[in-house]
Each structure stands twice: as C-alpha cells, then as structure tokens.
Copies of this chain bind each other. A is one copy, B any other.
Amino acid sequence: MHKPVPGNSLKPACSTCNLRKLCLPVNLNSVEITRLDNLISRKGVYRQGSILYRSGDKFQALYAIRTGFFKTQILNEDGREQATGFQMAGEIIGLDGINSDAHTCDAVALEDSEVCEIPFSKLEDLSRELPSLQRHLHRILSREIVRDQNIMLLLGSMRAEERLATFLLNLSQRFAEGGYSPTSFQLRMTRQEIGSYLGLRLETVSRALSHLQDSKLIHMRNRSLEILCMSGLQACIGKRAR
C-alpha cells in the first residue's frame, strides 16, 4: 500500500528532478516543462553531516531535495542555535538567501542526500515568461511564511508534549504526502535537534516521548517511530491550553 521507507534514505521524489510533481506542481505544457528542466542541474550527493550551504554564503540558487533529509538552523552571536526546519525529498530549500543575496542559515544533510540546483536568477527569468511558474514560486515563498508563523504559535504557546505531538503529526503528514506510511517512519534527527526545533532541552524531548509512549499513543525504538493512535495525538494538542 505504501512504499517502504528504506533504512537509509527516501526514494527520489522525482524523475529528472521532478519539480513538476512535488516541488513545482505547475500547469506547464511539455515545451515549458523542458525549459524548466533545462534550468536545473543535478548538484550531486551530500553525505550525512555535510553542509549544503552556510550562513553568510553567497546566495545563487534554490535547491530541490531529490533524496534524503536536511535540517536548517540559525546561530546567533552568543552561540545559541535554533533549528528552523527539517526538509525532506520533494521540498525546496534556500529561500532565506533571496533577501540579502546571502544565506542566513546553515543547511546540513541529516542523511546521504541528493539535491538539484536551481539557479535563482534563471528561475526569475523563466518565471517572467511563464505566469503559472511565477505564481507557483510566490506560493512557495508564502507557504514558508505561513509554516514559520505556525512554528511561532507552537513555540509561543504550547507545552512540551503538545509541541512533540504537533511535530510528529506534521512529519507523519509529510511522509504520507511523499507516498510513505504515515504511521511508521524513522526520525532522521537526534533528540537534541528535535529540541532545538521545538525550543526544548533534549531531556525534555526524551521525557515527552517516553510519556507519549506510556500513554500508548506512539511506540518508539531508538529512532523508529510508530504512531499507534493518530486521534489521541491530535487530542493531546490543546490540552491544558494556557
């Protein structure tokens, strides 16, 4: 029913780079598709732990994740870090750099990954010719804004267990959109990285996961997660709202 999730990496999200299907599901005819495909080059492989770009790097391209898993994080002066997102196959990464022609966060591969590079000025050129591509680019940018604002809501008003439940349900949904099982998947990140994303210490993440497990809502073994009760997870968001 679902594609199996392989141990070490997600399947390619796309054919050439398949921006049509997932990254850019845009109404284009075959000639236009070809023009879009011609923009895009296979950037190559990033081993687990390697850096796609660093804060301060010159911005020149967006990246479409073909296979694998990334995290993005910002660091401030005094060394604090905040994971700003986890990106999986089929998602676009690098939007932060457009503003100042320099990236403002680091992008790190959490497993061996393949990305396609989309030179941004060429994408702008083409999107001036193809209104539906233009519109789609705007949606991608706006979607990131909406997504970030929902994380702000999470960070500003949810308790630890609610944050975890929200996080797991979000991952579940995205795996489902990628064609994988929504109830059984591998976490690609450490407890520390989850905590950085959710504004919690790693011990708190561990405790909250243990508690969800004790409540029979999930089953965890190392990094493999099984969601036992989707509605229970949903229900625990909003409990004891403040």
What sequence of 0s and 1s flags, for each residue 80-117 of chain A, a beta carbon within 8 Å of any chain B beta carbon? Answer: 11101000000000011111100011000000000000
**Inter-chain contacts of A151 with B (CB < 8 A):** 152
Which B residue's beta carbon lies closest to that of A240?
B78
Interface of chain A, helix or strand or loop or mixed?
helix
Question: How far is B105's CA from A142's CA once the two chains are assembled, in angstroms?
Answer: 13
Contact (Cβ within 8 A) A199 B157: yes
Q: In the complex the two chains form, is B142's CB within 8 Å of A134's CB?
A: no
* Residue A44 at the chain B interface, CB threshold 8 Å: no
B141:A138 contact, CB within 8 angstroms: yes
Nearest CB of chain B from residue A119's CB, rounded to whole Å: 14
Q: How many copies does the complex hold?
A: 2
Are A142's CB and B84's CB within 8 A?
no
Task: List the B side residues contacting A150 at CB < 8 Å.
Answer: 74
Residues of B with C-beta under 8 A to A156: 82, 155, 196-199
Interface check A149, CB cutoff 8 A: yes
Question: Which residues of B have CB within 8 Å of A57?
Answer: none
A128 and B124 in contact, given A145-B141, A152-B155, A155-B152 (Cβ under 8 angstroms)? no
What residues on B are CB-neighbors of A158 within 8 Å?
80
Chain B residues with Cβ below 8 Å from A138 are 98, 124, 137, 141
Q: Decide yes or no whether A31 CB sits under 8 A from chain B.
A: no
Q: Are A142 and B99 in contact (CB under 8 A)?
A: yes
Residues of B within 8 A of A146 (CB): 96, 99-100, 104
Query: Chain B residues with Cβ under 8 A from A80's Cβ?
Result: 153, 157-158, 238, 241-242
In the complex, what distance in Å separates the CA atom of A155 from the CA atom of B158?
Answer: 11
Q: B124, B142, B237: which contacts A97 (Cβ < 8 A)?
A: B142
Residues of B within 8 A of A153 (CB): 74, 76, 80, 82
Beyond the given pairs A82-B157, A138-B141, 10 more chain A to chain B contacts, judged by CB atoms under 8 angstroms and listed by A's residue number, are: A95-B141, A96-B142, A96-B145, A99-B142, A99-B146, A104-B149, A128-B131, A141-B142, A144-B145, A156-B197
